[in-house]
């Protein structure tokens, strides 16, 4: 049985109280190179995943959306045109460095109207019940210490009929791809991190965190446990990433 006083930080077991600090150090380290490294690590495919994520979001003009772990703002930038001038996207992130990079980049692109920024912990959202039409989180859930609590908070702040959308690395579904994916994750990524960001350890942690994240079926069950209905899973690129969607009813 696992020790309830510890949790995983990559492949290491650490005290629960320390994980948030350790994850914070990782993302503070990678913030300025985050988008460049995403392009290098995924050969640019992450941009297609994110565009597809936004395209199937079902958002409409006037919707109010909370984008958790919004980081450098790429998801918020895709969602903003969907909600239009009547809507709003709240970009939230627990890490101030990531939030600052995202705000500066979106402002530099002239994206100001309809955007708000807030530093927050996904496990304790600072919003009243039934505040949003949708909650999104892309490549952030696996870094949350208590994922079940975060899913419960996402459910709480959604309006009736609102949806949660999660884009996250998941379990590869093709046996032939697994050894190639493992080689890329554990041999190539740390070297890219050392070469372009002078930080191999953070990218080693990111590869390990993907392997520790719940697979497609487990995460779907967690969404149902949090109260979501009509939970759907869509695999992209042979399950390297998956989109989970659930509704509050």
49-108 tens-digit pLDDT: 999 999 999 999 999 999 999 988 999 999 999 999 999 999 999 999 889 999 999 999
pLDDT at 205 (0 to 100): 84
Extract the residue ranges of the chain whose pLDDT is less than 70.
1-4, 30
Rounded to two decimals, what is the model's pTM? 0.89
Mapped onto helix, strand or coil, the DSSP state of residue 118 is: strand
Alpha-carbon span 79 to 173, nearest angstrom: 29
Crossing angle (nearest 10°) for helices 16-30 and 96-108: 30
φ, ψ of residue 17 in degrees (nearest 5):
-65, -20
Domains of the chain, earliest start first: 6-171+214-247 (3.40.50.150)
- Residue 43 to residues 17, 47, 137, Cα–Cα distance (Å): 35, 9, 21
Q: Return the sign of the alpha-carbon dihedral for residues 47, 216, 179, 193.
A: positive
């Amino acid at each position: 049985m696992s020790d309830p006083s510890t949790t995983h930080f990559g492949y290491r077991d650490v005290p629960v109280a320390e994980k948030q600090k350790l994850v914070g150090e990782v993302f503070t380290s990678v913030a300025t190179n985050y988008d460049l490294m995403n392009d290098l690590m995924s050969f640019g495919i992450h941009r297609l995943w994110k565009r597809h994520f936004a395209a199937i979001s079902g958002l409409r003009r006037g919707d109010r959306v909370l984008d958790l772990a919004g980081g450098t703002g790429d998801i918020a930038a895709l969602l903003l045109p969907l909600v239009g001038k009547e809507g709003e996207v709240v970009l939230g992130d627990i890490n101030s460095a990531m939030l600052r990079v995202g705000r500066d980049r979106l402002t530099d692109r002239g994206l100001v109207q309809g955007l708000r920024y807030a530093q927050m912990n996904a496990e304790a959202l600072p919003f009243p019940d039934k505040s949003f039409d949708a909650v999104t989180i892309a490549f952030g859930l696996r870094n949350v210490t208590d994922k079940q609590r975060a899913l419960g908070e996402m459910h709480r702040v959604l309006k009736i009929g609102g949806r949660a959308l999660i884009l996250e690395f998941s379990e590869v579904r093709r046996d032939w791809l697994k050894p190639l994916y493992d080689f890329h994750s554990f041999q190539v990524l740390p070297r890219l991190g050392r070469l372009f960001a002078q930080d191999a350890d953070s990218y080693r942690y990111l590869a390990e965190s993907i392997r520790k994240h719940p697979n497609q079926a487990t995460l779907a069950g967690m969404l149902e446990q949090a109260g979501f209905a009509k939970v759907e899973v869509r695999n992209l690129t042979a399950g390297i990433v998956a989109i989970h969607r659930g509704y509050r009813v």
